[in-house]
Structure 1
Amino acid sequence: MTEQRNGDGFPALLGAALREVVVDDEAERRAVAAFRLARDSGDRATCPRREDDWRPGSA
């Protein structure tokens, strides 16, 4: 594995992760409201698929 010195690789990824992220508060509010509406609608189609449910299984 060769080290990259052109701004790519781990240092660039670490820098991007540490930079402040601007969050659109209104978009976040709409997304949460849509999630809650779908969750509370009782529609079985909104249940997670077995492969998407990462909760620990019963032992």
Structure 2
Amino acid sequence: MAAVLEVFDAIPLGAYMAIVNELRGRVHQRHALAGILTGASAEEARKAFLAAAKEEGTLLPPMTSS
């Protein structure tokens, strides 16, 4: 559970909300935020999740081909 919370802590939600606010009147706010969270923060969330999982020891070692 801590790894999941680490992912959400790594997302700069305030900055994303500022961008979404600038789009008010052009697109639905919910849709704009969803697009930002799935697109722009995907890499940040992946990095945060991997770091948290590694710290907790729940990260599996990378697969190697034999």
TM-score by length of 2: 0.31
Q: TM-score, normalised by structure 1?
A: 0.34
Of structures 1 and 2, the one scoring higher in RCO (CA 8 A, sep 6+) is: 2
Q: Looking at CA atoms only, which structure, 1 or 2, has the larger radius of gyration?
A: 1
